[in-house]
Structure formats: structure tokens, C-alpha cells
Amino acid sequence: MNMISPRSFWGGMSQAFLWALLLAVGVVVIYPLLWMALGGFKSNSQIFEQPFALPEQWSFANYLSAWRGVQGYMFSSLLITVVSTVTTVFISAWAAFGLTRTPMPAKPLVTAIVLGGMMLSPTVALVPLVRMLQSLDLYDTHWALIILYTAFRVPFTTFLIRAYMLDLPRDLDEAAMMDGANPGQIFRRIILPLCRPIIMSCIVLHILFAWNEYLFAMIFTNNPAVQTLPVGLTSMMSKQGTDFAQVFAAMTISALPIVIIFFLTQRYFIRGLTEGIGK
Amino acid sequence: MMKRSFQSLTAILAATSALGWGVASAASTEVADPTAAVEHQGHLVVLTKFGMQRLAPYFEALAQQYEEMHPGVTVELIQEDDDSIKGKTKTLVASNSVPDIYFSWTGTWGGNFIRGKRAVDLTPVVGPGSEWGKTFAPAAVDAFVYDGKNYGIPLYLDAKFMGYSKTIFADLGLEEPEDLDAMLNACDTIKDAGITPISFGNKEAWPGIHYIGQLLAYNVPREVLEQDFDPATAEYSHPGYVAALEQFGQILNRCTIGAGVNGVSYQNAIQDLSDGRSAMYYQEIIEFDNAASASTKLSPQDFGFFALPAPADAAGDPDALEGAPEGYMISSASSNVPLALDFMKFVTSQDNAKVLSSPPYGQPSAVVGGSDAAQMSPAVVEGLQSIADASYLMQWLDTVNHPRVAAAWLSNLQAFIGGNMSAEDVVTEVREAAAAAS
């Protein structure tokens, strides 16, 4: 007769608990998304009457009409997200390189000024920003949001990339310099490729921010051709009646690109953040 | 040296501030001139509350038509929804970028524009005896009167009614109740049949305020109410306040699910009526077409409504109705006020008013004759008539009061519904909020 040793019993139990915990976390994270996607197949009545039941029919009618309603906003969101991601990450990487790997007078002060931008609340800056963008003829344009998203995210992104760059050995710069590389070449050919994990993390974080940002998008744009998805989604809801099935369908459509991007880049995302966490 | 620089800077700032205040206090409200010639040239910016995808085409079509009629004019629309209009308006006002024409609620929201001298005095063009003024329902025009002057152009009317299922009423042998007791008795009958008499969701706090607003109009004389709306003269000593709250308590206990309504959204409540799970739902006229439509179990033919019945011994006005128009003001900073007024006259023409009142917009126009019974649901047509027949339009409690008083009503009423506060305590809290706001 085989005896189960206490060690293997408790080991098995802890494994089982771990799996149960991970499964529970997975359900907590995935179920709301699934519920939202399924809601797009229901009628308003079924959403209220049987919120947790499966749809009575699997018709894509809500998804089609939701797509017609949000496709213009989707284009604006894509444009603003892509351009502001490129500008933010590029400026931040350059800034982080300057702050970590070049001689600079009063470097701690400059670092404090750049990173101090994280403390600025977007809400209190709204009124002067409206005046400024109006005087520059940028109000109600895609550029308004691209510039604002870049300006408000550069400090945080610089903070992340700087922490990662501080970990890279100085010998690399010196070796490259001895081979005749100038600072620009060292940045482009040595440091930037080594920073790929944190750059990917910053890209994902910025995409998440720009895709979901509502306050600036609501205040600085008026024209539906310029407005982004979060503003478009709220325009589908009304106190006097909302087709929730269509709203859920539109929310699913708008969340889909983010979910796909996250799954494709999650390996880099986690690596980038954990490696930069030491500083 | 540094100290002197600091003193100089302080002096400059003080002088600038004094000059700024001086200019502000010396500024006077612009008065519209009905005889001013309209020059159809220039650019108009219009801030609307029609940003919802269902409503947005209304102003878009009007702007396009107006531009085609007057090729020298361009109309830029800023279309916001129920929530975003608040943030957008505040930012535009704070940055001195108020659009030529902008949306306003009645009550304190509109009053803030008047206090800040942001609105043109429209008395000569829309006030009593004016040609344009006569084209609107008088109660709608009056709702935008501040300090005896007209500041708003009403676009559509809204009022609160008890919507009900004719089928459920007929099956149980019930008729539209004549007074509050009759409605409470009807609730008992409906409840005995296993149906929720009134679906009520007060998670958002304002639905409860709407019941109280109507009951106050029934229980407190109009002059007392209007005196109490102003924190400077408010007393809140009339016994009608407590009576109204006690009547509301009876409705809550006999017609609804009770204290649990604080956890139910108003959207759930209206859906319950639409799906036939409840017999009644207290709603705005602009919700009629949503509560009963081709896609709901409750058909438009099955849908009926009546004003919330008044108690038999009401001390106030039993013919008053709770509701308010929503409309537009003209910016005092507008460089072309006559053109802005001309555009609004076009918007409020009878033909355009009929389009507004009909589906898919379904916003009952404030223009006399601005509805086409053939195009509208019968309930909306009847509701409009009830509004026209009302002796007094009692504005929403949360917009007519000072924000601090409105907040006191909202929070304490939720506590009253939850059973944590007595009617007397609610009135005391509101009285104290009014005293603090004065």
C-alpha cells in the first residue's frame, strides 16, 4: 500500500490553491469583458431582465450599427494615439538619454523639472490651455490632443526610461566612443536597442492612456470629425433613453484594439517594468 | 533690491486686479435691439445640448439650411450631451470663449450667466408684448425671466407625468386616479396582483427630487415656494413641506419596493415599465417615446399618463405641474447679436419646431403650434396640452435652488427614503443649508 507523504500532500494542496486563485483572478478580469461583449448581442430588455443570461439570438445587428456610429471616432483615436505615442516615446527616450548618459550642468535640477511635470494636474490647466490653443489656432484639431497628450505624458515616460537606462553599463558608451561614435549614434545604435523592453512598456502605457483619455478630448474638441472614441461613446448615451446593447457593442469594438495590443506585447511590457524597477 | 522688486510686483498685481474688478463691476448687460438690421455675414458659434447621436442631426440640418439661405454666414456647432455640456460650458466661460449662442437650463444655472453678465437682455425681442415672444408658450418664456428681464429663448418644454400601462389598469379594473388617495389605493390593488405598482430608481438621487417637487407645488403656496427658493428670504417654515414628504413616504411604502429604490437606477425603473414588470413610472414627457416604442413590450397604444395626483386637501396649487423648458441664451460678448437672434428665430420657426417635436427627436417644442399631431405620438401631443393647461410650472428643485440647498435636498431625501431621517429632519437640514447659502 502506497503512503502519501505529508510533504507531497501539502505541496499538491498549495498547487491546487494557487491554480484556484489564478483561475479566480482570471475570471474576475475576463468576465466583465465577456459580459460586455455578450451584451452587444442582447436587446435592451434582456440586458435589464436577464443580465447574466446568454443572448437569445446571435445577431451582429448591434455591432454593425455600433460600428457605423463609432468608425469616425475610431479613425481620430487611431491617428492621435499613433502620433502621440511616437512623439512621446521619442522625446522621452532622448530626454532620458540626456539625463543619464551625457554630462550636463545642474543635472539634478533639470531632472527634477522634467519629472516635476508629473505633479501638474490636467484639470487645473484646462482654462489656460483653452486660451493658448485657441490663440495658436490649434483648438478643435487633432494636433491639440497630440500636443497635450505628448506634453502630459513625457515626464512619466521619461521617468520610466531613465530608470531603465541607469541600469545599463557605462562601458558600452565608452566602447562605442572609442570606436568613433558620437552621442547621437550611441543613442540610436547602442542604447535605444538595449532599451527595447522599457520602450515597449512605455508604448503600451501611452496607448492605454491616449485611447481612453476623456477630459482633454471632451474639452479641446468640438467637431465629431476630430473627436475620439471616449467622447463618441458618451454621445451614444442619453438621459432620455440609451440603447445599451449598442453601447456595449461599441465599447467592445473600441476595447478590441487595446486588448489585442496588450496580448501581443505583454512579454515586453512585464519585462520592461520589472527590469526598470530597481532604480 | 530684491525686496523692492517684490514690492513693485505686488503693486502691479494689486493695480491689475483692481482694474480688472473695476472693469467687471462697471460692465453693464447688453440689451438686444429689435430694430437692429441683420447683416447676413460672419461666423456664428452655437453650443447645443444635442450631442447625442439621436439628436445631433437636428442642429446640423438647421445650420446647413441657414448657411444655404445666407451664403455669407457660417455656423459652427459645438454639440454636447447631458453631462459634457456642464464641463464644456464652465471651461468656455472661464476662458472667455463663450459661444454666440449657448444652451442653458432655467434656475441657478441660467442665473449664473446673468450674474456674470454673460447673457444679452432679450426683453425687447422676446419679452411681454414682443412679436417673437408671442410665438412661445408663456410659461416657457417666463421660466427664463431673471430680475424681471428675459434672458432665454425656450426651445423645448419638459414636465413630469406618471406614465402607466393601460392594459394592467384595465385588467385590474382601475381608472386614472383623481387624487393621491385613489392612486395609493390603486397601488394596493396592483401590488395584490403581484405587479410592482410604481417602478422607481433613486440611485442617481434626482428622481426622488422630482416627486417632492410636484408634491411641494401641491402642498405649499406658490408665493411661499418662490420666497423660499431665494436663500436670502428662505424660511422653510410652511407645514406643507413636511406634509409633502409624508405623502412621498406613503407613495414609497405603498407603491414601490421601499428603501431599496436607493440602489436601483432610473434606467432599470423605466425598463420595468417598458417590459410590463411595473404598472407605472414617473417620467418626463421627453421620455414618453422611449418608455413605449415599437421595440418595447409596452406599446405606444398601451401607454397612458396622468399628472401625479394631488392630495384632496392640498394647500398649494392642485393644477401646478412640475417641469421646465430648456433653451438658449445669446452671449454678451457676441460680435453679431442681431445675426445670432436671426438664427434662433429660424430655429424656432413653426416648421422647424414641428420637426423637433416629432420622432426621432421627440422634444416637445416650446413654440405655440410647434407640434404636428400627425407626426407625433398621441401621448406627447396630450402631454403638451397638459403643460399648456397647467396653472404654474414648478421648476426642478435641484436647478431652481441654490446649489448648496439643492445638495441638501438630494442627500437628505435619499436618507429619508432609506428610513434614516424623518420628514422634519429633512426640512431642518434644507433650512440650515439655505441659511448657510444666504
Locate the domains of chain A by residue range. 72-278
Q: Using CA coordinates, name the residue in chain B closest to A241.
A: B290
- Give the domain ranges of chain B: 42-158+323-370, 160-322+397-437
Q: Using CA coordinates, name the residue in chain A closest to B277.
A: A49
What architecture (CATH level 2) is domain B160-322+397-437?
3-Layer(aba) Sandwich (3.40)
The answer to whether residues A222 and A216 touch, using CB atoms and an 8 Å cutoff, is: no
Q: What is the pLDDT of residues A17-65, one digit of tens each?
A: 999 999 999 999 999 999 999 999 998 889 988 889 999 888 899 999 9
Task: Please give the CATH superfamily to which domain B42-158+323-370 belongs.
Answer: Periplasmic binding protein-like II (3.40.190.10)
Quick one: average pLDDT of A224-237? 92
Buried b (16+ CB within 10 A) or exposed e, A235-270: bbbbbbbbbbbbbbbbbbbbbebeeebeeebeebbe
Check CB contact of A138 with chain B, cutoff 8 Å.
Answer: no
Rounded-to-integer distance, Cα A190 and Cα A187, Å = 6
Res A4 pLDDT > 90 = no
CB contacts < 8 Å between A and B, how many? 76
Nearest-CB residue to A219 (from B55, B88, B290): B88
pLDDT classification of B317: cutoffs 50, 70, 90: very high
Say what percent of chain A tops pLDDT 70. 96
Check CB contact of A134 with chain B, cutoff 8 Å.
Answer: yes
> What is the ipTM score, two decimals?
0.80
Output the pLDDT for position A3: 62
Q: Is A131's CB within 8 Å of B295's CB?
A: no
Nearest-CB residue to A127 (from B78, B95, B286): B95
| Sheet strands side by side (includes B326-330) | B73-79, B42-48, B101-104, B326-330, B153-156
Output the pLDDT for position B385: 86
What architecture (CATH level 2) is domain A72-278?
Orthogonal Bundle (1.10)
Q: Is A219's CB within 8 Å of B91's CB?
A: yes
Res B17 pLDDT > 50 = no
Res A239 pLDDT > 80 = no
Rounded-to-integer distance, Cα B125 and Cα B31, Å = 9
Across chain B, mean pLDDT equals 90
Output the pLDDT for position B36: 87
User: Do the domains B160-322+397-437 and B42-158+323-370 match in fold?
Assistant: yes
Output the pLDDT for position A2: 58
Query: What is the reported pTM?
Result: 0.83
pLDDT classification of B28: cutoffs 50, 70, 90: low
Distance of CA B339 to the CA centre of its chain: 27
Nearest-CB residue to A134 (from B97, B286, B295): B97
pLDDT classification of B33: cutoffs 50, 70, 90: confident
Phi/psi for B165 (5° steps) reads -90, 115
- When mean pLDDT is compared across B263-272, B280-289, B389-398, the lowest value belongs to B389-398
Output the pLDDT for position B35: 82
Quick one: average pLDDT of B310-335? 93
Can you state the angle between helices A61-101 and A107-116, rounded to 10 degrees? 170
Check CB contact of B88 with chain A, cutoff 8 Å.
Answer: yes
pLDDT classification of B20: cutoffs 50, 70, 90: very low
Q: Is B84's CB within 8 Å of A222's CB?
A: no
